[in-house]
Chains A and B, each alone.
Chain A
Amino acid sequence: NAGVTQTPKFRVLKTGQSMTLLCAQDMNHEYMYWYRQDPGMGLRLIHYSVGEGTTAKGEVPDGYNVSRLKKQNFLLGLESAAPSQTSVYFCASSYDDKAFFGQGTRLTVV
């Protein structure tokens, strides 16, 4: 039982490049989330999903897109990366409101 797994763990992008972060969970949770963590700003919700095929905007959705084609996977896409998107990204899934986090992806945009 791996829990929540994020791929990749580290990535450096050039401004304007695109990439997709993958989140996979094996706990059969309905709800999944993408957060970004910046110093002094806590965890800010980017997008979330309440089930397969559904997505919704969080607090800071601009510049990101998501997809939930399979219940166990939640993908976060950056179409044209900007330096302001340099951050640590955490995925989480939840059951009975209790959220379980992945190990994080450190993304640097230069």
Chain B
Amino acid sequence: GENVEQHPSTLSVQEGDSAVIKCTYSDSASNYFPWYKQELGKRPQLIIDIRSNVGEKKDQRIAVTLNKTAKHFSLHITETQPEDSAVYFCAAKAGSSASKIIFGSGTRLSIRP
């Protein structure tokens, strides 16, 4: 089945700097890659997603890139702010069973003032 690996597990950046989180997936048939943000004690919430027919997608300060050949996708946050501090999860929709969404292990992002 699908396996999603996420790195790093923790990331600390200076406010205003950029943050990059990387994920790899195993199922070459996966076609949907969302990113979720989870604040402390809250539920995960979708922040951006990308489908396999697109290489990059941007929404204000966040962007996601996808390399299908390498089975690799990344989340980029620019001009980081204190409210960006949270745990971020990548996920992939397994191509072999269209309804399963498999998550990575998460990245705890801390923004230093």
Interface residues of A (CB under 8 A from B): 31, 33, 35, 40-45, 48, 50, 56, 58-59, 90, 94, 97-104
Is B110 an interface position by the 8 A CB rule?
A: no
Find out whether the CB atom of A97 lies under 8 angstroms from the CB atom of B103. Answer: no
Complex: how many Å from CA A45 to CA B100? 8
Interface Cβ pair total, 8 Å cutoff: 54
Which residues of B15-60 have CB atoms within 8 Å of chain A's CB atoms? 32, 34, 36, 42-46, 49
Given known A-B contacts A42-B89, A42-B105, A42-B106, A98 and B49 have beta carbons under 8 A apart: yes
Given known A-B contacts A48-B100, A94-B101, A101 and B44 have beta carbons under 8 A apart: yes
B contact patch SS: strand
Which residues of A lie under 8 Å from residue B9 when comparing CB positions?
40
Cross-chain contact of B99 among A31, A40, A100, A103 (Cβ < 8 A)? A31
Cross-chain contact of B32 among A48, A58, A97, A103 (Cβ < 8 A)? A97
A contact patch SS: strand
Please, how many residues of chain B have a CB less than 8 angstroms from a CB on the other chain?
A: 24
Which residues of A lie under 8 Å from residue B42 when comparing CB positions?
103
- Among A42, A44, A59, A104, max chain B CB count under 10 A is at A42
Closest to A101 in B: B43
Complex: how many Å from CA A44 to CA B44? 13
- Among B1, B32, B43, B100, max chain A CB count under 10 A is at B43
